[in-house]
């Protein structure tokens, strides 16, 4: 029989350094370079021919799995899925509706100046109710020709209102107190306000007025307004009556500063002597009851 070739043990092929080179370094995939001697390196595992692509970070970038299924465009933009996107859009829509609704009902203002001292100080924040005197025209509804619905009524004496300055230029809104409504006669004399000939005691004003204003009848659709700081206020005693059409709303809440947070007091002064008379009647009732 012919001699068979002798079988010899051969070391497995490695990706280490060339013969005679150093036994340290990095291989093709960042693994520890193979090192072996004639007996082989027991810690070395041969490459099985199937490369692996781990997600590694290199300078802030991530190496993705090339065999992974590609993501849809909406998954890239919104990884929470279509259901999460729909819920987010619903929340945004609801927030917009609430914002528009609140802005339609109320509006915040900053008091500028001292014309309403001591009721309002300069720099205070108030919320104005824009529905207070709003009217709704239903003339377009069949059978309701010329019908106007005003659910909250007209401005009343003592209401603190915000209105647009009706003369040019219309750059600012004013805040004043209503002292006369249609059908009433307003007069200022001897340091007092007279409405329909009755002198009023006004504890909310800064000081008694030092001017006079002749008796003036308030016509329909207009109001007479004065600032609580009577001697330092640009109001009806200077520019005349105010059209109800330019009224923005009623100042209902002072929300800043927090130390003065409260509802705005809407009332007109009592007739001179009326408050003392009521106090006397109450005292008399207590004495009788005892």
Q: Which is the catalytic residue, given 35, 135, 139, 176?
A: 176
What is the C-alpha separation between 115 and 202, in angstroms, rounded? 16
What is the C-alpha separation between 224 and 14, in angstroms, rounded? 102
115 noted as active-site residue: yes
71 noted as active-site residue: no
**How far are the Cα atoms of 126, 162, 179, 252, 284 from residue 263, in angstroms, in the given order?**
10, 15, 19, 6, 32
What is the C-alpha separation between 46 and 163, in angstroms, rounded? 88
**Beta-ladder partners of 194:** 187, 199
DSSP assignment, residue 193?
E
**Cα-Cα-Cα-Cα dihedral of 134, 140, 141, 142, to 10°?**
150
Residue whose token pair is 């002072």: 254
CA angle 194, 196, 198 (to 5 degrees): 50
| Reduced DSSP (H G I as helix, E B as strand, rest coil) percent helix, strand, coil of the chain, to 5 | 20, 25, 55
Residue 90 in tokens: 């619903």
Q: Do 55 and 62 form a contact (C-beta atoms < 8 A)? A: yes
What is the C-alpha separation between 202 and 74, in angstroms, rounded? 67
- Asked whether the CA dihedral 172, 177, 179, 181 is positive or negative, the reply is positive
Q: Which is the catalytic residue, given 57, 83, 115, 233?
A: 115
Residue 159 in tokens: 């209401």
DSSP assignment, residue 232?
G
Active centre residues (catalytic): 115, 176
């Amino acid at each position: 029989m012919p001699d068979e070739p002798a079988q010899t043990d051969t070391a497995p092929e490695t990706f280490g350094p060339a013969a005679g080179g150093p036994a340290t370094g990095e291989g093709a995939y960042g693994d520890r370079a193979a090192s072996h001697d004639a007996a082989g390196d027991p810690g070395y595992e041969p490459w099985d021919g199937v490369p692996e692509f781990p997600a590694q970070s290199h300078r802030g970038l991530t190496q993705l799995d090339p065999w992974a299924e590609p993501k849809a465009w909406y998954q890239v933009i919104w990884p929470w899925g279509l259901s999460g996107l729909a819920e987010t859009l619903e929340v945004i829509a609801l927030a917009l509706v609430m914002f528009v609704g609140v802005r339609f009902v109320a509006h915040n203002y900053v008091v500028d100046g001292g014309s309403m001292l001591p009721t309002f100080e300069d720099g205070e924040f108030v919320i104005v109710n824009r529905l207070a005197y709003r009217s709704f025209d239903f003339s377009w509804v069949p059978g309701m020709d010329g019908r106007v619905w005003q659910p909250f009524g007209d401005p009343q004496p003592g209401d603190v209102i915000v209105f647009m300055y009706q003369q040019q230029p219309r750059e600012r809104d004013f805040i004043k107190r209503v002292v006369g409504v249609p059908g009433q006669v307003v007069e200022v004399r001897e340091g007092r306000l007279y409405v329909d000939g009755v002198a009023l005691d006004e504890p909310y004003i800064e000081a008694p007025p030092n001017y006079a204003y002749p008796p003036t009848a308030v016509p329909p659709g207009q109001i007479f307004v004065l600032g609580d700081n009577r001697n330092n206020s640009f109001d009806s005693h200077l520019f005349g009556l105010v059209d109800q059409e330019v009224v923005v709303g009623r100042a209902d809440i002072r929300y800043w500063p927090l130390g003065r947070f409260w509802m705005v007091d809407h009332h007109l002064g009592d007739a001179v002597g009326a408050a003392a008379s009521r106090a006397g009647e109450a005292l008399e009732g207590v004495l009788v009851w005892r």
